[in-house]
Structure 1
Amino acid sequence: MTEQTTQQPKLTAEQIEIAQKYDLTPKFIQFLDRHLIYPLVENLDSIYTSKEVESMEYDLLKETYMTKFIKEKFDHLYPGKELPAEFIEKEKAIEQEFNELDKATSKTLEILASKDVQESLKQDKTYNREYLSKNHQIDDAKILELYKFGKFQYNRGDYVVASDLLNNFRLLSVNQDLNLSATWGKISSEIITESWSDALEELNKLREIIDNRHFKGTTLDQLNKRTWLIHFSLFIFFNSENGLESLVDLFFSSSYLSTIQASCPWILRYLIVAVISSKPQLRQKRLRDLIRAVQIEDYEYQDPFTNLIQILYVNYELDRLPAVMKQVKVVSDVDFFISHLNTAELYKNAQGLVLETVGKLYKVVSTEQLKEFINDESLELTSTKENFDVQGDKVLISSAESGSVYQQVYEKTKAFNFKTNQLLNNAFGINSHNHKQPTQEA
């Protein structure tokens, strides 16, 4: 199992409460296998005690074949206590199964690795099967043993060997269901060993199968497989060059956006992060679609990132910004996937979006209020600083009259509505904070 090397920040009690509230690990459990969930659980060490995390790790993997790992966790959790008798029996059974599968596949693997066979095999799977059956007695039963051993090795935690075995099986098998299962196992192995280019190749193979117009299965089955694919893809996109651009393209495609809305609205967090992290031109291009998606799912799912989009582009409840920006920063630092990014740059981009909206709604604002809006005492005015003139304890804002005439009219109308609402609230004491409270996670 690959260790998470990112150093987690020391959090205050308030930050821990925020992190626990918006932790998505419980959501991911139903769409990842145990081995892929493990690094997410391991990442919780900054918001739970080491014993709590170790207990979660033990409960997660005790049903696998990773006996050495399970023993270590048991000894840490229950010092001086003997392993349960059923575990000893299971360990013996695992060792016996390993020996049987190793013996059953060794000759097949030796033949497949030989130079003569390698030179004789072609791109035609039917020809290869006939050739191996006729000349080397490798039949369907022998091919199936490769799958069984690959699955066994994956469950045992030997991911490199598992990947090779499952790949050999897939090259010869005509069983489409088992080939699909082998591909899921192979992509998991590549993710865990951080072989990102190979993982991306497997991701594309899965997409070809799942998105095929002649997909063999029900619409619900296809929806479930897309949901799994979305969760698997996060590991790859957040660790690959230009990965977030690929994430945006995939998640905004109609079939995958509808899957997110139907099955996993919490994935909007990562779509928002990807859009915020993108270049300004691409960000503006995608922002309207992003706002619409957040609005549609607002009744179903909310977190600091979706709330930020709602505040900046839908309801303009800027008095909520200080708390939401604080939450955005905490979640960015502790979320397993987002923490792989340059979170300081991400937060700076989020501050830039805040300043753009403030610049459209105000002509003058106190420096103190602006600091609160962006949750930053240093008041670094990021990318829009040319529109802000700091004079003592006030900031004068000059609007950037750019874009089409339509866009200028739209922005001015929006600002006028904001001011009108403010006047009505002040005059009649109308409480504008009737928004839905964020859904508590875990």
Structure 2
Amino acid sequence: MVKDLYDFGNFHYSCGNYGGSADLLFHFSVLSTDNDLVLQAMWGKLASEILVGDWELAYEDINRLKESIDKMANRDPAGQLQKRVWLLHWALFVFFNHPNGRDGIVDMMLMPQYSNTIMNACPWLIRYLIAAVIINRRRRNLIKDVVKIVANCSYMYSDPLTEFITSLYIDFDFEAASEKIKLCETVLDNDFFLTGATDDFVDCARLYFAEIYCKIHSKINLTALASRLNMAQEEGEKWIVKLIRDSRIDAKVDLKDNFVIINPQPNPVPQQIIEKSKFLMFRSQVLNGAIDKREAALKAASSSNSNSNTSSAS
């Protein structure tokens, strides 16, 4: 009668009783030994919890589904890729409603298998990774990984958020980056998942902009920088002075002449080696993923050829 639990849970889902559906599908997934149906039940349970807004259980189910999908590697590579694409899309509902969602989306999307999925199958999701990393100041050290993903996908997809990253971190075009911040504000206001994060994003984007600007320029006109940050002069000057103090940048502020003098900070050789090693590791993971896909395709092709030869011989 275990299969009846699945059918009854599916019936409740069709009737709109999502709480009852989630409960029945949970019990089915515990009792059943049919792996394919259990996976379908897990998807149904996740959908039910999203629809009733039970974000805590939905967050746990995202992780369970992620583990189940990772175990499919040898059985169905194409199906595994498709399920990862769907999980990334469904997870947006959970991550942007759960209290720890901003950490969750960053951790998930920067995992090698999911960053490869984004770059190969759904590059439009980069928008949400960029927003999560920029808004989450505790994860600001991950911005370099995001820049690499944006650079790899720039020929497939772009929007104001990806263009902001490209302008600021790749082209160092501060005029363009300043314009992109304005466009990002409009995009976020009209995005279903990001509409509540507009102010946080703009504030943090200004922080990233000012940090890069201060690293490149040795003498900064406070009025010009405030203008690039789309802020009033007095407000911008106070914000920049506070940024320099909080970031412990070695600088001298001359409010009389309205300038900031930045003392150069050379990048230590060990740090350069670490950064290059991280980049090589990232590229190696991308290449390994491509090789695995190629081998899987060749195995599938040889298997189909051998089956056709066997049938011809018989």
TM-score (norm 1): 0.55
Matches within 5 A, 1:36-435: 139=1, 143-212=2-71, 215=73, 217-279=75-137, 282-284=139-141, 286-341=142-197, 343-377=198-232, 378-379=235-236, 380-381=239-240, 384-386=243-245, 387=251, 389=253, 391=255, 394-399=258-263, 401=265, 404=268
Alpha-carbon distance, 1:228 to partner: 0.8
Cα distance in 1 between the residues matched to 2:242 and 2:83:
41
Runs (5+) with no aligned partner, structure 2: 246-250, 273-314
Two-structure CA RMSD over aligned residues (Å): 2.5
Amino acid paired to 1:320: A
Identical aligned residues as a percent: 34
Distance 1:327 1:397, change over 3 A: farther
Evaluate the alpha carbon distance shift between residue 205 and residue 382 of structure 1 in structure 2; reply closer, same or farther with a 3 A threshold: farther
CA-to-aligned-CA distance 1:81-115 (integer Å, 9 cap, x gap): xxxxxxxxxxxxxxxxxxxxxxxxxxxxxxxxxxx
CA distance in 2, matches of 1:382, 1:162: 56
**Is the 1:368–1:393 contact (alpha carbons within 8 Å) kept by the matching residues of 2?**
no
Q: CA deviation at 1:382?
A: 7.4
Check the 8 A contact 2:49/2:55 in 1, yes or no: yes
The separation in 1 between residues aligned to 2:241 and 2:103, in whole angstroms, is 23
> Does the CA-based 8 Å contact 1:389-1:395 persist in structure 2?
yes
The structure with higher relative contact order (CA 8 Å, sep 6+) is: 1
Rg (Cα) greater in structure: 1
CA distance 1:388–1:302, shift in 2 (3 Å): farther
Aligned-partner residue type, residue 129 of structure 2? L
1:401 Cα deviation after fit: 2.6
Q: How many residues align?
A: 263
Contact conserved, 2:18 with 2:51, CA < 8 A, in 1? Answer: yes
CA deviation string 1:195-216 (max 9, x = no partner): 122112211221121001x546
Aligned amino acid, residue 364 of structure 1: K
Q: Per-residue deviation at 1:319? A: 1.7
Q: What is the alpha-carbon distance in structure 2 between the residues aligned to residue 392 and residue 194 of structure 1?
A: 55
**Contact preservation (8 Å) 2:222, 2:260:** no
For the residue of structure 2 that corresponds to 1:381, the secondary structure is helix
What residue number does 1:94 align with?
Answer: none
Structure (1 or 2) with the greater helix fraction:
2
How far apart, in 1, do the equivalents of 2:6 and 2:178 lie?
A: 54
Q: CA deviation at 1:242?
A: 2.9
Deviation of residue 383 (structure 1)?
Answer: 5.7
Q: Which residue is equivalent to 1:55?
A: none
**Contact 1:351 / 1:382 at 8 angstroms: preserved in 2?**
no
Q: Write out per-residue CA displacement over residues 186-232 of structure 1, whole angstroms, 9 at most, x where no aligned residue.
A: 011112222122112211221121001x5464211100001111112
Alpha-carbon distance in structure 1 between the residues aligned to 2:46 and 2:149: 29
